[in-house]
Amino acid sequence: MKIQIWSDYVCPFCMLAEGPLEEAIEGLDVEIEWKPFELHPHPEPTLRPEDDYLPAIWQRAVYPMARRLGVDITLPTVSPQPRTRLAFEGYQYAAEHGRGTEYTRRVFRAFFQEDQDLGEPDVLTALAGDIGLDADEFRAALDGGTYRAKHQEALREAAAHRVRAVPTIVVGDTRIEGVPRPDQLRKAILAAQTDQDIVYGAACGIDGGC
What is the distance between the alpha carbons of residues 89 and 160, in angstroms, rounded to a whole number?
Answer: 20
Q: In sequence order, which residues have a C-beta less than 8 Å from that of residue 133 and are 6 or more positions away?
A: 93, 94, 97, 99, 103
Q: Domain ranges in the chain? A: 2-205
DSSP state letters, 44-104: SPPP-TTSSHHHHHIIIIIHHHHHHHT--------SSPPP-HHHHHHHHHHHHTT-HHHHH
Q: Residues 78, 72, 167, CA angle at the centre, nearest 5°?
A: 75
Closest-CA residue to 172 (of 189, 150, 184, 148): 189
Fold topology of 2-205:
Glutaredoxin (3.40.30)
User: Rounded to whole angstroms, how far apart are CA atoms 64 and 62?
Assistant: 6
| pLDDT of amino acid 172 | 85
Strands 204-205 and 165-166: antiparallel
pLDDT tens string for the chain (210 positions)? Answer: 889 999 999 999 999 999 999 999 999 988 899 999 999 999 999 999 999 999 999 999 999 999 999 999 999 999 999 999 999 999 999 999 999 999 999 999 999 999 999 999 999 999 999 999 999 999 999 999 999 999 999 999 999 999 999 999 999 888 999 999 999 999 888 875 444 455 556 777 766 667
Q: Closest by alpha carbon to 189, among 31, 8, 14? A: 31
Global pTM value: 0.90
CA distance 147 to 4: 20
The length of the chain, given as a count of residues = 210
